[in-house]
Amino acid sequence: MISKSKVVLSVMLAIGLLAGCGSKGDHAQPQAGSSVAPKEEKVSITFWRNSGNDAENSAYDKLVASFNEAHPNIKVEMSPIPFADYDTKVRTAIASGNPPDIMAIDGPNMASYAQAGALQPLTAYFKKDGNLEDIPESTIATYTYNNEIYMAPLTESSIALFYNKKMFEAKGIPLPSKNPEEPWTWDQVLDAAKKLNDPAKGVYGIDPAQGFGNAGGTAYFKYPIIWQFGGEIMSPDGTTSKGYLDKPETKKALQFFSDLYNEHKVSSLEYPPDAFPNGQLAITVDGSWSLGNLADKFPNFKLGEDYDIAPLPKETQQAVANGSWSLAISSKSKNADAAWQFVNWVTGAEGAKTYTSITKDIPARYSVANEVPELNEYPMNIFVVQNQKFGRPRPITPIFPQMSEAVNKMIEEVTIGGRNLDTAVAEAINKIDRAYDSLPKK
């Protein structure tokens, strides 16, 4: 969950100012391969993470216990923190100069922590024994800022096109391919949505991006549409949106999205609860995590009979957002080498295999995904292949929250408010550039 932009910015400023000042806690950064501690001295490592579901908690409990047993000179003390409180608690601890050694951070927030000097670079550790070639380059790029890797990925998620198979068959519409590399175009999706749309009977053609809500969350669904049309949101260095958010391809994507609601009227600003499994929504874009939810809550709405899954549509190219909660080491840690041993234990191939076997998440590593048969078969192969071959980082920028708010508001104003597209884009660029300019200078 992303905090309100003004609050996040003020806290980031505080962190940035703190990072720019000397303190008694400052120390030279440890290097990969240096001594962890004298053999007779037991090192205690603090690890904070957001409290997850039962499966996630069980997986972490198992990994911490196995690490502590295998490393008698290192003790990891894990603190699960409620999700609603987590981000604030971590930022407060960093600002006060007393952060945990290891912390879980959501991918898009990495750059704000790294820019503030709160994270230990992990590049040297990865090159030493992190098995970088086992992780997709696009995934590593998500956790890289100013040419340094700052976080170690454990799992990934992905989204795809869910469609009501029986509705398609009733209308005689050919079904999309299940091949992850053979997506429909957006024009094909629009054509099907028009044929299936029947508002008089309470049936809507498509929900293209999980409606309108939290900016950080909807970015995960809306940015791929921009990329699929060949557009961009920010510069590769994350400093400006000028020349990117106002690209013709970006504007074409934004206009297409708005037209789904306003010209073609195949999308609605509001849908009934559980519209897709209840037969009131013909096509939707949803995540791999929804498969379990549909099976549990709607057992009579069956995959392969009532609905099926296809890769995300494309216009000029395939694209999907990547990046999930991953592990980082504090720049203040006095035991960074020991902390890396634990991070590598959890996110390495064996740890990831243990974790994902319990949680059923998609592993970030090729080797782990290759070993799980169901990840190489329909429907999970669609999510896995899309992520590995067509995954893209959301903009890597220390102003991600402010950028997300600006882009989300722009899309809402154009789609819901009918605002002129060029005017809305120009204002969003101005907001984003002002936010970046307001960062503390080092």
List domains and CATH numbers for the chain: 23-157+324-364 (3.40.190.10), 159-321+400-437 (3.40.190.10)
Q: What is the pTM of this model?
A: 0.90
Kindly state the average pLDDT of the residues 43-58: 96
Q: How far apart are the first and last CA of the chain?
A: 28
> How many whole angstroms separate alpha carbon 439 and alpha carbon 63?
38
CA–CA separation, 72 and 323 (whole Å):
33
What pLDDT does residue 40 have? 55
Which pLDDT score, from 0 to 100, does residue 213 have?
Answer: 75
In order of 28, 33, 196, 378, the CA distances from 280 in angstroms are 60, 58, 10, 25
Residue from 382, 372, 348, 320 nearest 162 by CA: 382
Tell me the two tokens of residue 68.
């502590």
pLDDT of residue 41: 81
pLDDT at residue 133, as a whole number: 98
CA angle 107, 316, 230 (to 5 degrees): 50
In tens, the pLDDT along 127-136 reads 999 999 999 9
- For 76-103, what is the mean pLDDT? 97
Instruction: Name the token pair of 271.
Output: 């849908």
Residue 18, pLDDT above cutoff 60? no
Tell me the pLDDT band of 15, cut-offs 50, 70 and 90: very low
Q: What is the CA radius of gyration of the chain?
A: 23
The answer to which of 14-23, 109-118, 419-428 has the lowest mean pLDDT is 14-23
The confidence score (pLDDT) of residue 215 equals 64
pLDDT at position 212: 86
Q: Indicate whether 192 pLDDT > 80.
A: yes
Query: 188: which 2 tokens?
Result: 């094909």
User: Has residue 22 got a pLDDT over 80?
Assistant: no
Confidence grade of residue 30 (pLDDT, cut at 50, 70, 90): very low
| Spatial distance between the Cα atoms of 35 and 83, rounded to a whole number of angstroms | 35
Q: What is the mean pLDDT of residues 151-160?
A: 96
pLDDT digits (tens, 9 = 90+) for 234-263: 999 999 999 999 999 999 999 999 999 999
Q: Indicate left, alpha or beta for 293 from its phi (over 0: left) and psi (-120 to 50: alpha).
A: alpha
Helical packing angle, 248-262 and 400-415, nearest 10°? 50
Beta carbons of 180 and 311 less than 8 angstroms apart: yes
| pLDDT tier at 146, thresholds 50, 70, 90 | very high
pLDDT bin (cut points 50, 70, 90) of residue 211 is: confident
- The rounded distance, in Å, linking the Cα atoms of 161 and 208 is 9
Reference 132, options 350, 367, 325; nearest CA is 367
39-61 average pLDDT score? 92
Residue type, 57: N
| Distance (Å) of CA 412 to CA 82, 230, 255, 405 | 30, 21, 12, 10
pLDDT at residue 376 in the model: 97
Per the prediction, the chain carries an average pLDDT of 91
Contacts of 330 by beta carbon, 8 Å cutoff, 6+ apart: 94, 99, 100, 101, 102, 103, 118, 119, 120, 339
Q: Which amino acid is at 364?
A: A
Pairing of strands 320-322, 74-81: unpaired
d(CA 213, CA 357): 32
| Average pLDDT for 11-33 | 38
pLDDT above 60 for 39:
no
- 112 near 58, Cβ under 8 Å? no
Alpha carbons within 13 A on the beta-carbon side of 374: 7
Q: Tell me the percentage of the chain whose pLDDT exceeds 90.
A: 88
Res. 214: pLDDT tops 50: yes
Q: Within the chain, how many helices (H) and strands (E) appear?
A: 17, 14
* pLDDT band at residue 27 under the 50/70/90 scheme: very low
What lies within 8 Å, CB to CB, of 329 at 6+ separation is: 101, 102, 119, 120, 122, 336, 339, 340, 343
**How confident is the model over 330-347, as a mean pLDDT?**
98
> Mutual orientation of helices 215-228 and 248-262 as an angle, nearest 10°?
110
pLDDT at position 442 is 65
pLDDT at 12 (0 to 100)? 43
Q: In this model, does residue 361 exceed pLDDT 80?
A: yes
Predicted pLDDT of residue 147: 97
Interhelix angle 400-415/421-437, rounded to 10 degrees, is 170
Average pLDDT over residues 383-395: 97
